[in-house]
Amino acid sequence: MEIIDILLTANFWAAALRIATPLIFGVLGALICERAGVLNLGIEGIFTAGAMAGWMAVWLGAGLWGGVLVAALAGGFFGLIHAILTVPLGLSQHVSGIGVTLLATSLSYFTYRTALPDVSSPPRITPFQPLDIPILSDLPFIGPALFSQTALTMLALVMVFVTGWVLYRTPLGLAIRAVGDNPSSVEAQGLSVYALRIGAVVAGSSLMALGGAFLTMSAFDAFFFGMINGRGWVCIALTVFASWRPGKALLGALLFGAFDAFQVRLQTEVGAFLPSQVFLMMPYLLSIAALIIVARKADYPKALLVPWFKGQR
Amino acid sequence: MSSAANPSLEKSPQLLLQLAAITKKFGPLIANDAIDLDVHKGEIVALLGENGAGKTTLMNILFGHYVADGGTVMVAGADGILAPLEPGAPQAALDAGIGMVHQHFTLAENLSGLDNIVLGTEPIFRLRRDRTGARAKLTKLMAGSGLNVDLDQPIHKLTVGEKQRVEILKALYRDARLLVLDEPTAVLTPQEADSLFATLRQLAATGLSVIIIAHKLAEVLAVSHRIAVLRGGKKVGEMATDQADRRSIAELMVGRDVPVSRRSERAPGKPVIGLRDVTIDRGDARRSLHGVNLMAREGEILGIAGVSGNGQAALAQLIAGLDRPDVGSVEIFGEKVTKFDAHQFAQNGIARIPEDRHHDGMVGSMTVAENIAIEDVRSRDYQKFGFLDFEAIRKRAEHAIADYDVRCPGPDAPARLLSGGNIQKLILARVLEKSPKLILANQPSRGLDVGAQSEVHRRLLEAREGGAAVVLISEDLDELLTLSDQIAVIHAGHVSAAIAAHDIDRSELGLMMAGQKKGDIDFGPDNFESSTKPREKTDENAPRSGDPA
């Protein structure tokens, strides 16, 4: 009974969408990279870099949207490192990705500590505020759940549509889908495999960084160590869950967000007789379960992880 | 047409392509050594040569995949004036009207035929794609060339012949004036090949120039106007096809006499392996068999003909003991097999020459000696106090290298350094040294040059003389007809009854490989749909039910 009540509140769905927002950015970014044939395990670090860079830009006086831009650029920069190492140089995408995560995370912490050597509590910025759209925000249920989110959540939802459009409706998307399946098909048609893959990784990484920026500029108002807390890795799993499709990516992120929002509420309801860790585990366990069901039939982009070199076939 | 080709070309010598002194080195290897080649408008030129002769390298230079170390490529523009082609730029080659159909198709399998064809032809940064315009142009092209294919199917659902048609359409869609086909018939049934050649002749008549890279003589004699022969990176001969003679071209290609394998008459002995009503259903057509009955006898080569992907993999796995039948049984020397275990099968004298010699036939990072002993490490001969006896392994390897002429730096060299032909010799040495009772040879000479191929054939015939049974799975009809005593055809997991090889002819075999029933040949009780339909309507198109005889 209580469970049903939880699911029926607009408040619950608003929280689910809020929790899902950084994941939406992350999964979209990861799927763009993987559609082009590059696994980007730099995602966890790119989240951190985006969170830190966006927040710091605002703290230093930039506007909120300026901060978002800085975060995207920071993500693009680390994406470029990963792309150069894995695409023209053809290094192991796993090793390079983990390296980028370590580098980006450490560099973010280092920059933060260098800029703020001795603060006890992290300085705060004024984050994005919930939108108040006339009429729409006043709708019952939908209003508070969907239209009272911050601008970044709206941007995430728009990006789902944009990514889908680019991938399936434009020549560029066609080339990205082709290069992730058989790079030779792209080269034989006179397009550059390297340019496509590097471009996709940089663009995807910029999107991932926005997920980090959402955390420091919308969900919270400051930067903490360890605040990404594995969200990047969740995105990698959700990408498989989404079968590399933007629409399903949204679904997967929402599902995870709903699990998470649900467990928080469940803790207050039945937390008296179960340790809270059990609830914290829940979204991850349910994600694993969902993944097992979906991923067994996963149709990986065939050239994923396979380096391609010009003049070699 | 071919008889009139040469004089007519002299009358209108509109040169389309001129390769002059093309040279390409890969390290110490000279892949192309000052090669000249001219192609005229509407002409079909066959580029012949063994593996490693430099054919594909030359074409990759033409198409901009490689940059030549020396020489020039000149292509005629729309005005007929020759202009140099920018090296190393596929886009430049495409713009100049050169289309290439690679041996390994360059198609994205997740996209439809239409998407693959349109890919790269429109400006990349655009909000929408123009599919209707593309479709209209392609419909017209398909009607004009007879290259019919369902453009909306994802590539992975098409047959090999259909994929090739998509590749050719890809070039035509870009208004190619020169079409280069790299080993186009390697994956086709004879009927599909005939239909391809008919299309090419038709396209050439409308002014398209074609270069066909091939290593099989018969087919290029049928389709080309002119033949150029490469050997060891050099052009060693060039002639009009109607003045060419088969034997002299073969010698030009190989550079010496090719020993012809001859089979002696020999009565078969006892059955070695028998399959009874074997059905394996793995959901995937490549891995499934349906009600298969087969028998291989001592001193007999049983050929299994078929286009790859029709269940050969399942059959090979079963005979090697790597899989078990869902229904039916397998008998070895008349005894029903209860335990399907590769080691057990090997102990029973079943030797395996795997289809993918690089992947399944050896371990590249291990030495030649280790690879030769790898199936026998459990044998006491190669052990000392329970440890491997490297001295004994080395000794065997040295013998094998000498006896089988495996060209390698030595028994301690990593096996991955060996060429394909030498890897195959290494595998032959490993399996034949043990005088096996049954040899499973799966595509044993695929991709080998004429020399290595004749060596493989000689060894298989030798084993047959010695009383071994051989199951020869092959797509190469010449190979099957030369070596086999009996031939059965596999199609979509069904295997026909074996027929004596001298009672069968090529076109009949080709039709059966395409899934047509013919006369007394029975594929089994159920009708199956043929995935590759030959175009030619002949008597062979007998109704499926009823009595065609």
Three-state secondary structure string covering B108-176: CCCCEHHHHHHCCCCCCCCCCCCHHHHHHHHHHHHHHHCCCCCCCCEHHHCCHHHHHHHHHHHHHHCCC
Which residues does chain B have within 8 Å of residue A172's beta carbon, measured at their own beta carbons? 124-126
Amino acid A218: pLDDT:
94
Q: How far apart are CA B104 and CA B167, in angstroms?
A: 11
Distance (Å) from the C-alpha of residue B119 to the closest C-alpha of chain A?
Answer: 6
Mutate to test the interface with B, among A168, A189, A197 (most CBs of B within 10 A): A189
Q: What is the pLDDT of residue B346?
A: 86
> Three-state SS for B504?
coil
CA distance B338 to A101: 53
Q: How far apart are the first and last CA of chain A?
A: 62
Q: Model pTM?
A: 0.77
Q: Please give the Cα distance from B340 to B343 (Å, whole number).
A: 9
Task: Using 50 as the pLDDT threshold, list the residues of chain B that sit under it.
Answer: 1-11, 520-549
Q: Is A195 on the interface with B (CB under 8 A)?
A: no
Residue B8: per-residue pLDDT:
42
Q: Does residue A172 belong to the interface with chain B, where contact is any CB pair within 8 Å?
A: yes
* Interchain contact, A182 vs B119, CB within 8 Å: no
Residue B503, token pair as written in the block: 């009672």
CB contact under 8 A, A181 and B110: yes
Q: How far apart are the first and last CA of chain B?
A: 37
Q: Within a 10 A sphere around the Cβ of B385, how many other Cβ atoms?
A: 5
A178 to chain B: which residues are within 8 Å by CB?
108, 111, 115-116, 119
Alpha helices by DSSP H, A9-42: 10-35
Q: Which of A174, A185, A187 minimises the CB distance to B107?
A: A185
Rounded distance, CA B447 to CA B316, Å?
A: 19
Using CB atoms, which residue from B118, B119, B125 is nearest to A186?
B119
For B474-501, how does the pLDDT look when each residue is reduced to its tens digit (9 = 90+)? 988 888 888 999 999 998 889 998 888 8
Residue B533, pLDDT score: 38
Q: Classify B353 as helix, strand or coil.
A: strand
Test B90 with A190 for CB contact under 8 angstroms. yes
Distance CA B179, CA B42 (A): 11
Q: Would an 8 Å CB–CB cutoff place A34 in contact with chain B?
A: no
- How far is the alpha carbon of A192 from chain B, nearest alpha carbon, in Å? 9
Cβ-based contacts of A174 with chain B (< 8 Å): 111, 115, 118-119, 129
Supply the pLDDT for residue B261: 66
For residue A193, list chain B residues with Cβ-Cβ distance below 8 A.
none
Interface test with A, best of B58, B102, B111, B119 (most A CBs within 10 A): B119
The structural domains of chain A, with segments of one domain joined by +, span: 24-117+142-295
Task: Locate B491 and state its tokens.
Answer: 């199609």
Distance in angstroms (rounded) separating the CA atoms of residues A101 and A199: 19
Question: ∠ at Cα B244 (B243, B248), nearest 5°?
Answer: 140
| Per-residue pLDDT, A161 | 97
Q: What is the pLDDT along chain A (313 residues), one digit of tens a residue?
A: 567 777 778 889 999 999 999 999 999 999 999 999 999 999 999 999 999 999 999 999 999 999 999 999 999 999 999 999 999 999 999 999 999 999 999 999 999 999 988 887 889 999 999 888 888 888 888 888 888 899 999 999 999 999 999 999 999 999 999 999 999 999 888 899 999 999 999 999 999 999 999 999 999 999 999 999 899 999 999 999 899 999 999 999 998 898 888 888 877 777 667 777 887 887 788 778 877 887 777 788 999 999 998 765 4
**Which chain B residue's Cα is nearest to A182?**
B108
A175 neighbourhood in chain B, CB within 8 Å? 119-120, 124
Distances (CA, A) of B331 to A241, B352, B440: 46, 17, 15
The third-level CATH classification (topology) of the domain covering A24-117+142-295 is: ABC transporter involved in vitamin B12 uptake, BtuC (1.10.3470)
**B231, B255 Cβ separation under 8 angstroms:** yes
Asked if B123's CB is within 8 angstroms of A302's CB, the reply is no
Q: Name the DSSP letter for residue B2.
A: H
Q: Contact at 8 Å (CB) between A176 and A12?
A: no
